[in-house]
Amino acid sequence: MNIKTLEFVGSFPSETACPDSTFPEYAFIGRSNVGKSSLINLITDRKEIAKVSSTPGKTQLINFFEVNESWHLVDLPGYGYAKVSKKNRAKFSKMIDHYLLSRKQLQCAFVLIDARIPLQEIDREFISKLGASGVPFVLVFTKIDGVKLGKLTDNLRDIKEKLLEEWTELPQTFITSSTKRKGREEILELISKLNKA
């Protein structure tokens, strides 16, 4: 898929405030600092559409982008940032949950997982919640350039094994590196396929 047009629609504080549109939505979500903004910039082929932040946990709104006048890319706030107060974390978590669990337009959530480290408990819990709620999602491993191939293979195997302790099958997975521009086509291909479905 070519990105012919890309427009920032707006930032919204809750699911109910999000645009009342029939465009299919694709949401990107992950732990703060997982590489979400960089991946969104890679996918959209824009340098700074999503702000790559040196202050993790800053984006606390739901950002909407309209792509090719036919679908919405939704940038959800990163979860689990330790420096955000407990109260605020609970508030964002509720807002994210509400969007993911009730949004009719949502076609697929792209859940970003850092490929360089073992599966974090907060990620496992998040995936567990999505799975139990029947939210359509895929897993996107990020920053694969940041780890040697052998270690990457081990990490991915361990992460999958851990998830299979709870689930009988895994969702589709993608391996990406924004630095090496890897994984863009595959993600756009899935969006393209789902848009046609």
Q: Which is nearer to ligand GDP, 70 or 114 (CB)?
A: 114
Query: Closest Cα partner for 140 from 38, 39, 21?
Result: 39
Residues 172-191 that bind ligand GDP (CB under 6 A): 177-179
Site string for ligand GDP, 81-120 (x = CB under 6 A): ----------------------------------------
Q: Report the residue from 32, 63, 107, 155 that binds ligand GDP according to the rule CB under 6 A.
A: 32
Q: Report the residue from 1, 3, 9, 52 that binds ligand GDP according to the rule CB under 6 A.
A: 52
* The two structure tokens encoding residue 150: 């052998």
Q: Is 36 in the site for ligand GDP (CB under 6 A)?
A: yes
**Contact (Cβ atoms closer than 8 angstroms) between residue 118 and residue 69:** no
Q: Measured from the CB of residue 8, what is the shortest distance to ligand GDP in angstroms?
A: 16
Q: Is 10 in the site for ligand GDP (CB under 6 A)?
A: no
Question: CA dist 119 to 104, 127, 144, Å?
Answer: 29, 11, 14
**What is the distance between the alpha carbons of residues 153 and 134, in angstroms, rounded to a whole number?**
28
**What is the distance between the alpha carbons of residues 134 and 112, in angstroms, rounded to a whole number?**
18
Q: Tell me which stretch binds ligand GDP (CB under 6 A): 11-19, 27-35, 63-71, 122-130.
A: 27-35
**What is the distance between the alpha carbons of residues 186 and 6, in angstroms, rounded to a whole number?**
19
Q: Measured from the CB of residue 54, what is the shortest distance to ligand GDP in angstroms?
A: 7
| Residue 153 CB-density burial (10 A; 0-12 exposed, 13-18 middle, 19+ buried) | exposed
* The two structure tokens encoding residue 190: 């899935």
Q: Measured from the CB of residue 169, what is the shortest distance to ligand GDP in angstroms?
A: 27
Q: Which is nearer to ligand GDP, 56 or 131 (CB)?
A: 56
Instruction: Give the angle subtended at the CA of 149 by the CAs of 144 and 154, to the nearest 5°.
Output: 90
Site string for ligand GDP, 134-173 (x = CB under 6 A): --------xx-xx---------------------------
Whole-number CA gyration radius for the chain:
16
Query: Three-class SS of residue 37?
Result: helix
Q: List residues binding ligand GDP (CB under 6 A).
A: 30, 32-38, 52-53, 56, 78, 142-143, 145-146, 177-179
